[in-house]
Amino acid sequence: AALQKTAHQAQRAGQIIQRIRDFVKKSEPNRQLADVQEIVGEAVELAGIELRRHNVRLSHYVAARLPQVMADTILIEQVLINLMKNGAEAIANADRPPAQRSVELRVVPRQVEDQEVIEFTVQDTGRGLAPEVLAHLFEAFYSTKSEGMGIGLNLCRSIVESHQGRMHAENIYNGPEVTGCRFSFWLPLA
């Protein structure tokens, strides 16, 4: 069972790399009717490895009976994986104690600008983002990581926008103290 799971994850990783290469070359996603629960399941499985490596607990909630979206599932999975992985790294860099090491993924229906959408939210318990970082967060080649290339969030935003969605980042506060960061994006219904 462990080898089957590993083989499945390796195959998915290959598909992700190929689909991202295709997307970057022609910037057109391969959209089809997609089940949100399946997208989240695949993303959680792949991101779980990285989160466990950082000793970060992952919780996720997907609203019941969500309508389908028109999406390139592999690209949307990659957006979710990147956001969860970034959250885990933010928590590790914040050196949070075990009880405060969590990433939460929530997927719920919303109405945005008179449009029915599915909203994906990834929230971490890191230190949040400085105002100057928030201002440049989605720019190409901008990174706060010493090893980062500044492609991840820019590519995520491009993927979401190619699906006629939008992406947003904000700090979470408890009074004046920043207690984490929340990345949200939404996709219109099929």
Domain annotation for the chain: domains and CATH numbers? 2-188 (3.30.565.10)
Q: Tens of pLDDT along 88-116? A: 988 988 888 888 899 999 999 999 888 89
Token pair belonging to 83: 């956001």
Q: Give the Cα-Cα-Cα angle 62, 66, 67 (nearest 5 degrees).
A: 150
Inter-residue contact 88 to 179 (CB < 8 Å): no
pLDDT of 27 > 70? The answer is no
Higher pLDDT, 2 or 76: 76
* Tens-digit pLDDT profile for residues 33-73: 999 999 999 999 889 888 998 899 999 999 999 999 999 99
- Provide the whole-model pTM: 0.81
